[in-house]
């Protein structure tokens, strides 16, 4: 019995592109060995198959995830694509294959080697998004609230509903340095767009005053006799500190570690 030929799937890196790959693999009854981007310079031993993104095919797969399995599985796949897990496409593909066979109960089978790694990656994503709901710091730049973050996962789509609902009348710009994309919002309109770089203008006097007030509050509220740096780092790891007002001194460029110890 001969093994079916495996292919290296090349796609454009978008979620729709990935779903098109899933569609193609089912249509051709072949299994992708791994996934790679069009412009990835690495070569592999498998024969390559380039997949052009086709919105219609992608939407068919996306709808069927919800209709034929369950909305929860659809959510897992959608969010799974935002995680930073290594070889996330391959893992997601295995999960989708299993899900079509096992049905909605698949998300309960947490010890299965195809489900467990995805679940872990999702927990990481959800936890990081939750932390950023609190740790994002905005500064008022001429009436626009600007913030920068360096998350490990692509959290912007998860943060979007939260911040848009919280500040419905404001204009927002939240820049994700790791994935070079930005969330833009103005009343009743939002977009997540690729952005190469973000340089902010110097803060106004009012902004500086608020930063100083916040830093003073932060320093005052701690009880000296109970100092516990380990506990603080457990709850708020140091990698978040760079973008937080309370650890910055003014005049410094954002993104440089100026953590006071």
Partner 1 sequence: MELLDKLTILADAAKYDAACTSSGVGRAGRGGMGSALPAGCCHSFSADGRCISLLKVLMTNRCRYDCAYCVNRRSNDVPRAAFTPRELCELTMGFYRRNYIEGLFLSSAVLRDPDYTTEQMIAVLTLLREGCGFGGYIHAKAIPGADPLLTHRLGLLCDRLSVNIELPSQRSLALLAPDKTRASILGPMEQIRDGVARSRQELVRYRHAPRFAPAGQSTQMIVGATPETDLQILRLSQGLYRRYQLKRVFYSAYMPVSDSNLLPARQGFRPPLLREHRLYQADWLLRFYHFDAGELLDEDHPHFDPRLDPKCGWALRHPEFFPVEVNRADYEALLRVPGLGVTSARRILAARRAGPLTFEGLKTLGVVLKRARYFLTCSGRCAPGAARLRPEDLFFRLADPLPGQSAGALPGQLSLFPPAI
Binding site for partner 1 (CB under 8 A): 105, 108-112, 116, 120, 123, 130, 133-140, 145, 147, 162, 165-170, 210, 212-214, 216-232, 234-236, 244-246
Q: What are phi and psi of 172, to 5 degrees?
A: -120, 150
For partner 1, which is the closer residue by CB, 15 or 100? 100
Q: What are phi and psi of 53, to 5 degrees?
A: -65, 130
For partner 1, which is the closer residue by CB, 42 or 235? 235
Rounded CA separation 247/241 (Å): 6
In the bound complex, what is the minimum distance in angstroms from residue 216's beta carbon to partner 1?
6
For partner 1, which is the closer residue by CB, 39 or 202? 202
Strand partners, 144: 141, 171
Using CA of residue 219, residue 225, residue 226, residue 232, what is the dihedral sign? positive
In the bound complex, what is the minimum distance in angstroms from residue 208's beta carbon to partner 1?
12
In the bound complex, what is the minimum distance in angstroms from residue 133's beta carbon to partner 1?
5
For partner 1, which is the closer residue by CB, 120 or 249? 120
Sheet holding 32-37, edge to edge: 32-37, 7-11, 48-50
In the bound complex, what is the minimum distance in angstroms from residue 77's beta carbon to partner 1?
19
Rounded CA separation 192/23 (Å): 26
């Amino acid at each position: 019995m001969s093994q079916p030929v495996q292919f290296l799937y090349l796609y454009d890196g978008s979620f729709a592109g990935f779903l098109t790959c899933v569609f193609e693999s089912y249509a051709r009854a072949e299994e992708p060995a791994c996934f790679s981007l069009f412009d990835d310079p690495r070569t592999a031993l498998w024969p390559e198959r380039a997949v052009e993104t086709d919105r219609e095919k992608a939407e068919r797969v996306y709808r069927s995830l919800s209709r034929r399995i369950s909305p929860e599985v659809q959510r897992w796949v959608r969010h799974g694509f935002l995680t930073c897990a290594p070889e996330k496409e391959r893992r997601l593909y295995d999960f989708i294959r299993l899900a079509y066979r096992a049905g909605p109960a698949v998300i309960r089978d947490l010890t299965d080697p195809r489900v467990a790694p995805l679940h872990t990656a999702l927990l990481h994503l959800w936890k990081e998004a939750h932390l950023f709901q609190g740790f994002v710091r905005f500064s008022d730049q001429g009436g626009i609230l600007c913030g920068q973050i360096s998350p490990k996962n692509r959290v912007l789509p998860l943060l979007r509903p939260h911040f848009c609902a919280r500040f419905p009348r404001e204009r927002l710009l939240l820049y994700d340095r790791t994935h070079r994309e930005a969330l833009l919002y103005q009343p009743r309109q939002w977009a997540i767009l690729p952005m190469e770089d973000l340089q902010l203008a110097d803060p106004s006097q009012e902004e500086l005053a608020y930063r100083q007030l916040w830093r003073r509050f932060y320093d005052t509220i701690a009880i000296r006799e109970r100092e516990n740096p380990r506990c603080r780092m457990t709850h708020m790891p140091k990698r978040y500190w760079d973008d937080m007002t309370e650890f910055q001194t003014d005049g410094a460029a954002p993104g440089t570690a100026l953590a006071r110890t």
